[in-house]
């Protein structure tokens, strides 16, 4: 057999793909193995008398080769293929899956942060601020589609002689006189600082939330953040004297996410991956339903859900979905890690303030419905019996400090 011919084991995989309508080559198999997307063949016994040895495909290779034949193509990066196959439940090697999620975290880059790696934090922040000012980079606080929907709803409310938010919701804002003052440039620098330091002040978070809903006469969720330390004194364990809320251990937030990619159970990664997909579907479907009602001059269930979500936490997910018109696998993986981070932080808060009224997360608009489903175990924990020390409160969840 010439060196250009596939081995008997590889021929089994080629034939398996052929039976399912795919044409692959031994060269492709070798490329996929080098990328860590599928395991090598399992050595067998020798044939004797210098005739070489036998091998057989790993059992999981048969499913993987079909997935790769279906997904692979020009320009497809190995990390994207690893994520997409993992999402299908195919047995991609674990090290490859985790490396793909880590690569997604590594896509978070800041202009100018590497000008001088030896600079202290303040100098690095100054470098980033300078580059942002020079390039004019700025995040979109309210995507055009969301802005159009907000304005249309506001017009219908004015025509009906109504105000929004209604008094019972507006009364939750303890600082209604705070007009949004954060510009897109301010927001971009705030986000960059959060990445480098792993923290934000409660006031900065409140300002960002108000800027993302500039037409609101009141912003209950921003007020909740701004007054957190007053309402829950025990939360001071994670809030510095200057009002800064730590997003995790001090330092670059990307390091925390990288650590999470290494330690989170694979079932948690899979559950979070599916959750962010469902959040996107929910957000886009809600947009279409709202637009349909508005075109008919109506304010029905969809408009009510939109308004509640926009003025509470779920609106942030809607805005994020509309910003990312293209949603490549790396961005989806990054969104997955941010959801896992949420779970991580909720667990941490539950240790600091046991119970923590998690049932409130079930309220409409507080979080996107798919995230509420993911957090159901945590929410139910309010009424669950105490677990012995060292046990995970629920299977399939990320444990802080694990």
Owner of token pair 């219908």: 156
Residue 182 inside a domain? The answer is: no
Residue 218 inside a domain? The answer is: no
Q: Are strands 53-56 and 244-246 parallel, antiparallel or unpaired?
A: unpaired
Distance of alpha carbon 83 from alpha carbon 245, whole angstroms = 32
Q: What is the rounded average pLDDT of the residues 153-167?
A: 84
Q: What is the rounded average pLDDT of the residues 65-69?
A: 96
81 has pLDDT over 70: yes
Residue 258 inside a domain? The answer is: yes
Residue 86 inside a domain? The answer is: yes
Dihedral sign, CA of 248, 251, 256, 257?
A: positive
CA dihedral 188, 194, 199, 201 (to 10 degrees): -10
pLDDT of residue 4: 66
pLDDT of residue 280: 96
The total domain count for the chain is 2
Range ranked top by mean pLDDT from 63-72, 109-118, 201-210: 63-72
Residues 351 and 244 grouped into a single domain: yes
Residue 286: strand, helix, or coil: helix
Last residue of a domain, one of 80, 105, 130: 105
Residues 166 and 63 grouped into a single domain: no
Residue 283 inside a domain? The answer is: yes
Q: Which residues of 52-65 are buried (b: 16+ CB within 10 A; e: fewer)?
A: eeebebbeebebbb
Contact 283, 318 (CB under 8 A): yes
Q: What is the rounded average pLDDT of the residues 299-317?
A: 90
Q: What share of the chain is helix, strand, coil (3-state, %, to 5)?
A: 60, 5, 35
Last residue of a domain, one of 105, 128, 160: 105
The secondary structure of residue 139, as a DSSP letter, is -
Residues 394 and 300 grouped into a single domain: yes
Distance of alpha carbon 232 from alpha carbon 35, whole angstroms = 49
Distance of alpha carbon 278 from alpha carbon 269, whole angstroms = 14
Q: How far apart are the first and last CA of the chain?
A: 51
Q: Three-class SS string for 78-108?
A: HHHHHHHHHHCCCCCCHHHHHHHHHHHHCCC
The secondary structure of residue 198, as a DSSP letter, is S
- From the list 345, 339, 346, 350, the residue with the least C-alpha distance to 384 is 350
Name the pTM for this structure.
0.82
Residues 260 and 315 grouped into a single domain: yes
pLDDT of residue 232: 55
- From the list 43, 138, 76, 94, the residue with the least C-alpha distance to 270 is 94
- From the list 311, 280, 231, 252, the residue with the least C-alpha distance to 114 is 252
Residue 198 inside a domain? The answer is: no
Residues 372 and 294 grouped into a single domain: yes
166 has pLDDT over 70: yes
Instruction: Name the pLDDT band for 139 (thresholds 50, 70, 90).
Output: confident
Q: What is the rounded average pLDDT of the residues 128-149?
A: 87
Instruction: Name the pLDDT band for 388 (thresholds 50, 70, 90).
Output: very low
List Cβ<8 Å contacts ≥24 apart for 241-245: 242/201, 243/201, 243/202, 243/203, 244/199, 244/200, 244/201, 244/202, 245/199, 245/200, 245/201, 245/202, 245/205
> What is the chain's Cα-based Rg?
25
Span of 165-179, 263-277, 279-293, 378-392 with lowest mean pLDDT: 378-392
Residue 22 inside a domain? The answer is: yes
Instruction: Name the pLDDT band for 194 (thresholds 50, 70, 90).
Output: confident
Please tell me which residue, 34 or 348, carries the higher pLDDT value.
34
Residues 18 and 155 grouped into a single domain: no
Residue 250 inside a domain? The answer is: yes
214 has pLDDT over 80: yes
Last residue of a domain, one of 47, 78, 105: 105
259's enclosing H/E stretch is helix 253-263
- From the list 336, 321, 351, 330, the residue with the least C-alpha distance to 267 is 336
346 has pLDDT over 80: no
Span of 7-16, 19-28, 123-132 with lowest mean pLDDT: 123-132
Span of 5-9, 60-64, 92-96, 201-205 with lowest mean pLDDT: 201-205
pLDDT of residue 378: 55
Tokens for 312?
């509470």
Which range of residues forms the domain containing residue 338?
145-177+228-402
pLDDT of residue 137: 80
């Amino acid at each position: 057999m010439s060196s250009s011919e596939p081995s008997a084991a590889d021929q089994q995989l080629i034939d398996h793909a052929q039976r399912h309508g795919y044409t692959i080559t031994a060269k492709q198999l070798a490329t996929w193995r080098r990328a860590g997307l599928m395991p090598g063949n399992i050595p067998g016994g020798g044939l004797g008398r210098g005739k070489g040895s036998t091998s057989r495909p790993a059992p999981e290779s048969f499913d993987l080769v079909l997935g790769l034949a279906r997904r692979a193509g020009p320009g497809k990066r190995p990390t994207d293929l690893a994520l997409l196959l993992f999402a299908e439940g195919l047995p991609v090697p674990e090290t490859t899956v985790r490396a793909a999620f880590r690569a997604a975290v590594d896509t978070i880059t800041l202009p100018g942060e590497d000008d001088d790696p030896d600079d202290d934090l303040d100098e690095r922040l100054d470098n980033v601020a300078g580059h942002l000012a020079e390039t004019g980079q700025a995040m979109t606080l309210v995507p055009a589609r969301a802005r159009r929907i907000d304005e249309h709803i506001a017009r219908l409310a004015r025509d009906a002689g109504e105000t929004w938010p209604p008094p019972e919701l507006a009364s939750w804002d303890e600082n209604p006189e705070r007009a949004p003052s954060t510009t897109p440039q301010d927001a971009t620098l705030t986000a960059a600082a959060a990445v480098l330091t792993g923290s934000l002040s409660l006031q900065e978070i409140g300002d960002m939330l108000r800027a993302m809903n500039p037409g609101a006469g009141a912003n209950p969720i921003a007020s909740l953040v701004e007054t957190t330390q007053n309402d829950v004194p025990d939360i001071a364990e994670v809030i510095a004297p200057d009002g800064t809320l730590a997003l995790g251990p001090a330092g670059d937030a990307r390091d925390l996410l990288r650590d999470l990619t290494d330690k989170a159970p694979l079932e948690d990664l899979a559950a979070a991956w599916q959750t962010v997909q469902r959040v996107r579907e929910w957000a886009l479907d809600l947009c279409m339903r709202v637009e349909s009602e508005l075109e008919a001059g109506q304010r029905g269930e969809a408009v009510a859900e939109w308004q509640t979500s926009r003025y509470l936490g779920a609106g942030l997910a809607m805005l994020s979905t509309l910003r990312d018109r293209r949603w490549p696998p790396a961005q989806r993986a990054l969104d997955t890690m941010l959801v896992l981070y949420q779970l991580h932080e909720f667990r941490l808060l539950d240790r600091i303030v046991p119970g923590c009224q998690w049932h409130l997360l079930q309220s409409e608009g507080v979080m996107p419905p798919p995230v509420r489903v993911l957090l159901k175990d945590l929410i139910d924990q309010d009424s669950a019996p105490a677990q012995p020390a060292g046990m995970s409160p629920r299977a399939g969840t990320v444990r802080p400090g694990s």
